[in-house]
Structure 1
Amino acid sequence: MKKFLGLLLIISISFGLFPQQNISSNIFQSSEMYNITVSGAVRSPGVYYMPPTSRVSQVIKRANAIPDSLLILEKQAKQKRRLSQNKLDEPSQRNIKLIRQADTTRIDLLRFKKLGANEQNPYLKDGDIVWVPKIDKTVSIWGQINEEGNYEMVPGDRVSDIVNLALGITDRAYTEQAYITRFVDSKNKTQKIVFNLEDALSNPHSQLDPKLKKDDRIFIRELPQYHEEYSVLIRGEVKFPGRYSIEENQTSLLEILKQSGGPTEDADLSNAYLQRRRNEDTIDPEFERLKKVPVEEMTELEYEYFKTKSREMRGKFSINFEQLWNLQDESYNILLKQDDYIYIPDKTVTVNVSGQVKNPGLITYIPKKNYMYYINQAGGFSWNARKSKIRIIRANTGEWLKPDDDTVVEIGDMV
C-alpha cells in the first residue's frame, strides 16, 4: 500500500497535480530539526537548526561560516594571527561548554581531532547550548616531538596530555631526562623542573607525570649521536669512486681503499692524498689571526709563517699511499672522520711551467732533468723574468723549493 501511495505521489507531481514548491516546503517542515544555541567566540552567535545526527563540531562550524564577501579579509586575519603566534586571540577548542538543561559538560574538540576521542564530540539534543570561550591558558612543547608549538591547556593537564596532543615523541627523543621551564613570579624569573619522560609517559596522571601550569614550556632533547650518518668521499683512480659510509674514528683509510676496489693501473699513489675538511679539526688559530693583520704590520717571522700556511692544502695528511697499499703499513692507516676526502690522481707524465716564460704550459716529463731543461722547453725566459725568484712546487707535498743546478724536477711538479 505504501509503495502504491508513493508511486501515486510521484505521478501526481510529474503531471502537475500538486505544485512542486509546496510539496518540498511541506516535506522540509515535517522533518525533525533541533534548535541549538551557539554563543561566545564564534563568528555568528545565534540559534541554529540542526539535524538530529549533528555533533558539537558541526554546529560550531556553521556558526563560524564565512560569507564569500569576507573570505579575503579572513585570509588576511589568519595570516596576522599566524605571524603573531598568539593563541590567546583564538577561540578555545578544549574548554567548550555544552549546556543541556541543568548539566554542563566540558568539550575538548582538540582531543577529538588529534586523538579520535569521539566522546569529546557528542551528538546534540534539542535545546542544547554550546558556549565557546577564548583561549585563556597555554603551554608549549619543543624539541623531539612530532608537532612542536603552543597548546591550549585545561585544568588537570599533565605532561603526558600535551605529548599526546602533539602526536607523541620522535624516535630521536632522549626519554631519560626532559625538563619544564616554569615562571615563578609575574616577571621573567623561572625555575627548571627535571623529570624522567619515559616514566611520565608510562604512568600517565600519576606522581611521575608532572602537572602543568600556565605558560610552562616543555623541552625534550635529542639522543646523543642518534643514527648519525657518517661518510667519506673518494675520487680519482680507483675502481669504484664515490661516497662510502663509515663509523667515525673506527673505519680506516685502508678499509675504504679496499671497498672502492683499490687503485687502478693508472693511479699515481705517490701523489695521492687524504684531506680532512671538517673545520673544527683543521682550524689554525694563528693563521686565522694573521689573515686579519695587514702585511705591513706583520713581523718577518709572522709573514713567513703566513706565506707558508697560505701555500699548504688545509687539512692534508702526510701519508705514503704506496706503503699503505702495497705493504699494508699500519702507521699510515688513518682512522677516518665525517667528510674526509681521498684523492688518487692518475699518473701525470708532465711538468707545468708557469710564469714569465715565452710558452707557459705542460711539458713532457723526462727523468733526471733539472728546472732549466723545462724552462728551455717552454721557450726560455721572457724579457721581464726575475730569475732569482724561480721556485719549484712539489706535486706530492706542495713544498716550495728554491732550486739549484742539482735539483731534479719530479713528475707533476710546477716550475
Structure 2
Amino acid sequence: MKNTIRLWALCALISAQTIDVNALRTLGQSSATKLGLDRTKLTQEKQAQSLVILDRPVDPSLYFVGPGDQFRVNIISSNEAFNYSLTVSPTGEILIPAVAIVPVYGLTLRQAIKAMEKTVKEWNQNVKIYITLEQIREFKVKVIGQLEQPGLYTATPMTRVSDLYQMIIEQYSTEIEEDEESLMERGVSETDRSMMYDQKSQIADLYERKMRVPEEEKEYQELSNRNLVLIRKQDSIKIDLARFGISGKNDHNPYLQQEDILVIPLRRHLIGIYGGVKIPGKYEYVFGEFLSDLIQIAGGLRPDADPEKIEITRYNGPTEKFSFTVEFQESKDVQLNPEDHVMVQYAKQYKRQEIVYITGEVVHPGVYSILPGQTTIGNILAKASGYTNRSDSSKITINNRDIYEIPDRELERILLIPEENRSTSERAYIKARMMTQKGALETNSIIQAQYIKDFLVAKNDIIHVPENFDYVEILGAVKRPGRYPFIQSYLYDNYIEIAGGITSNATRNKFVIKAGTGQRLPAKNKTKIDTGDIIFIAEKMEYNKWIVLKDVLATASQIAVLLFYIDRVTNSG
C-alpha cells in the first residue's frame, strides 16, 4: 500500500513539473509569435543593439541593478530549454514569466542574480537556470554648480565622473561649432566668419581693458576639476580628476550610480609652482594637500632641479608674507595653504646645453652645441662641413631671436613723437632701424664674410647661408631694364652697356643697392657689382604741361593780388 502511495505522489510531481515546463513553453512560443520573431531572430535582434563601451568587464559585486537593465535568462528542464530577455521595470522589479516578480533595484548584480535563481528554484527545484547581464541601462544624473546648463545628464552604471565632466566641458565647444555651421548654411564666407569672430574677440578685449578686469580673475571663473563633490544618498564623495589623471586611482574617479548628484563648483583657491618642475604654473588648491602631491600634479621634478632648495612663500595675513625653504625629502610632511607660491630652484649649471642653429647652403645644417666665450662662427661652419657648391658664401646672415625680442626703447620713444615734430636724427634712426633688424648681422662681400668667422657666437644664434643666384637687376632709366646674369669681371658701366645704355629721361641720381644689406650707394662707372645687387637710375618726373601752366598762372595771380594790397596800404599811409 505504501509503495502505491509513493508511486502516485511521484507521478503527481512529474505531472506538475511537466505542466510548469509546458507553461513556460507555451508562454515563450506565444510571446515570440505575437512579436513575429522566433528565438533565432530575437537573439539576432538583441545582438544588433548598440553596446556600451567599457573600460573593464562589469564587476558583479560593484554593479548596482536598476530600471532598464536587461538580463538573459536561460531555464533548462529535462527535455527543453527556454531563453528570455527580461528588463527591469521602472519600479525596479523583474518579471520571470510563469514564475514570479523579483525586486532587484539597489541590489548588486551578484545579489540580483542570486535572488532570481532562488525564486526559480523555489518554483521548480529540478530545472537549471543561467542568468547574465545582457544590456546595461541608461539613467539621468543631476549636475549642479556654476554651469551654463545645470540639469540632468544621461549616464550608465559604467560611466565615470570624468566621462560626464568631459561631456559638459565639450558642450561649449560644440555650441561654437554649431554657430559656425549655421553661418555656413546662411552662406557666410570663411573670411567673413573669421572677421566676425575676430571682431567679437577685439570687442571683448576692449571691454575687459576698459573695465580693468585682472587676468587673475579669469582663473577663478573656470570650472573646478579637483574639488568636485558626488552626493550619493547620505554620503559626499570628494572627486579629484587631476589626481586621477596622474595616479589612475579609481577612488578619485568612481562610477556613477542612479540618484547621484554631481556638484561642479568654480575654482576657489590656487597655488603656483614654478622653476624645476616639468609643468610649472598655477594649480587648483585642494584642502589637506601636501607639497609632494603638488609636485606630482606638476609632473615631478626636472633633472636640473635642486631637491634641497624648494622655497615656499606663504601669507600669514591679508598682505603679510614670509618665505621658508624645505627639501624634497620633507615634501610629504609639508601641508600647503591656499595661495602658496612654490619655487623649485635649479641646480647650478646642470648640464646646460647652449646651442646655435645653422641653416641654408651648408653640407650639414642643424643644431650645434657651443662653448660660451669660445665657439666662433668659423667653428660652426666647420662643424657643418662647410659650404655647398650652390652657396653664396659672401652673404652670411646671423640673427638672434632673444636679442630681437629685447625692446628698442629709443625706437619706442621716437614713435611716440608726432612725425612732423621729429628731428632729422630721429628720422634717420627710424630709417636705420628699418634697414637693420635688431641683433642681426649681414655680410655683402667675401672679405667681410671671411672677417666675421672669428666672431664669437651667442646662445640661440641663427646662422643662414643663402643659395647663390647669379644675377643683377637693372631698373629705372635704361633702355632694357630687367634681370641680367652676374659676370665676375663686370663693373657698373659694363652692366649699363648690356642694358642698352641710359635713356634721355635719366637723372644724375644713380645708385647700387647692395643685396646683403639693402644699403644704397652712389654708383660710378667703375663701381664693383656683386651678385644680387640692384642698379637703379632715377628717371625725371613727367609733368602735364597744361597742369603746370595752370599752377603757374594761379600762383602769379595770387602774387599780383598780394602786391596790389601792399601797394594800397603803402599809398594810404
Instruction: Give, in angstroms, the shift of residue 263 of structure 1.
Output: 1.6
Q: Verify: 1:212 aligned to 2:339, yes or no.
A: no
Q: Does structure 2 retain, via aligned residues, the 8 Å contact 1:180–1:216?
A: no
Aligned-partner Cα distance in 2 for 1:121–1:364: 72
Q: Verify: 1:262 aligned to 2:344, yes or no.
A: no
Q: Does structure 2 retain, via aligned residues, the 8 Å contact 1:232–1:337?
A: no
Instruction: Give, in angstroms, the shift of residue 170 of structure 1.
Output: 4.4
Q: Does structure 1 retain, via aligned residues, the 8 Å contact 2:308–2:328?
A: yes
Q: Does structure 2 retain, via aligned residues, the 8 Å contact 1:108–1:121?
A: no
Counterpart selection for 1:153 from 287, 291, 314: 287
Task: Read off the aligned partner of 1:342 and give its amino acid letter.
Answer: H
Q: Call closer, same or farther: CA 1:223–1:13 in 2, change over 3 Å.
A: farther
Q: Verify: 1:351 aligned to 2:472, yes or no.
A: yes
Instruction: Give, in angstroms, the shift of residue 265 of structure 1.
Output: 3.4
Correspondence list, 1:3-402, <5 A: 11=21, 14-15=24-25, 20-21=96-97, 23=99, 25-26=101-102, 28=103, 65-66=141-142, 70-71=152-153, 84-85=221-222, 87=224, 92=229, 110=240, 113=244, 115=247, 140=271, 142-143=273-274, 144=277, 149-154=283-288, 157-163=289-295, 166=297, 169-171=300-302, 175-185=307-317, 188-201=318-331, 204-205=332-333, 209=334, 211-213=335-337, 215-221=338-344, 223=346, 230-236=355-361, 238-240=362-364, 242-247=365-370, 249=372, 251-269=375-393, 271-278=394-401, 280=403, 285-287=409-411, 289-290=413-414, 293=417, 296-312=420-436, 315-317=440-442, 332-346=454-468, 348=470, 350-366=471-487, 369-382=490-503, 384-387=505-508, 389-395=509-515, 398-402=518-522
* TM-score, structure 2 as length reference: 0.46
Task: Read off the aligned partner of 2:400 and give its amino acid letter.
Answer: R
Task: Read off the aligned partner of 1:276 and give its amino acid letter.
Answer: N
Q: Any stretches of 5+ residues in structure 2 without a counterpart?
A: 1-13, 28-74, 76-94, 113-137, 144-150, 155-163, 173-218, 255-259, 536-573
Instruction: Give, in angstroms, the shift of residue 50 of structure 1.
Output: 5.1
Instruction: Give, in angstroms, the shift of residue 134 of structure 1.
Output: 10
Aligned-partner Cα distance in 2 for 1:149–1:97: 31
Instruction: Give, in angstroms, the shift of residue 296 of structure 1.
Output: 4.3
Aligned-partner Cα distance in 1 for 2:504–2:456: 48
Aligned-partner Cα distance in 1 for 2:401–2:457: 14
Secondary structure of the residue aligned to 2:477 is: coil
Q: Any stretches of 5+ residues in structure 1 without a counterpart?
A: 34-47, 55-61, 100-105, 123-129
Q: Does structure 2 retain, via aligned residues, the 8 Å contact 1:371–1:408?
A: yes
Q: Call closer, same or farther: CA 1:159–1:131 in 2, change over 3 Å.
A: farther
Q: Call closer, same or farther: CA 1:375–1:256 in 2, change over 3 Å.
A: same
Aligned-partner Cα distance in 1 for 2:381–2:226: 62
Instruction: Give, in angstroms, the shift of residue 153 of structure 1.
Output: 1.2
Q: Call closer, same or farther: CA 1:192–1:257 in 2, change over 3 Å.
A: same
Q: Call closer, same or farther: CA 1:49–1:258 in 2, change over 3 Å.
A: same
Q: Call closer, same or farther: CA 1:358–1:53 in 2, change over 3 Å.
A: farther
Task: Read off the aligned partner of 1:71 and give its amino acid letter.
Answer: Y
Structure with the higher helix share, 1 or 2: 2
Instruction: Give, in angstroms, the shift of residue 356 of structure 1.
Output: 3.1
Aligned-partner Cα distance in 2 for 1:178–1:184: 19
Secondary structure of the residue aligned to 2:358 is: strand
Secondary structure of the residue aligned to 1:258 is: helix
Instruction: Give, in angstroms, the shift of residue 85 of structure 1.
Output: 3.3
Task: Read off the aligned partner of 1:233 and give its amino acid letter.
Answer: I
Instruction: Give, in angstroms, the shift of residue 247 of structure 1.
Output: 3.7
Q: Does structure 2 retain, via aligned residues, the 8 Å contact 1:267–1:346?
A: yes
Instruction: Give, in angstroms, the shift of residue 343 of structure 1.
Output: 1.4
Aligned-partner Cα distance in 2 for 1:403–1:245: 41
Q: Call closer, same or farther: CA 1:401–1:291 in 2, change over 3 Å.
A: farther
Instruction: Give, in angstroms, the shift of residue 235 of structure 1.
Output: 0.7
Q: Does structure 1 retain, via aligned residues, the 8 Å contact 2:473–2:534?
A: yes
Aligned-partner Cα distance in 1 for 2:437–2:261: 71
Aligned-partner Cα distance in 1 for 2:382–2:319: 59
Task: Read off the aligned partner of 1:219 and give its amino acid letter.
Answer: V
Aligned-partner Cα distance in 2 for 1:231–1:284: 23
Q: Call closer, same or farther: CA 1:121–1:380 in 2, change over 3 Å.
A: closer
2:146 aligned partner: none
Instruction: Give, in angstroms, the shift of residue 274 of structure 1.
Output: 2.9
Q: Which has the larger radius of gyration?
A: 2
* CA-to-aligned-CA distance 1:198-222 (integer Å, 9 cap, x gap): 1323xx33xxx2x334x24343447
Aligned residues: 349
Q: Percent identity over the alignment?
A: 19
Counterpart selection for 1:404 from 487, 507, 524: 524
Secondary structure of the residue aligned to 1:25 is: strand
Aligned-partner Cα distance in 1 for 2:422–2:270: 57
Q: Call closer, same or farther: CA 1:297–1:330 in 2, change over 3 Å.
A: closer
Q: Does structure 1 retain, via aligned residues, the 8 Å contact 2:23–2:98?
A: no
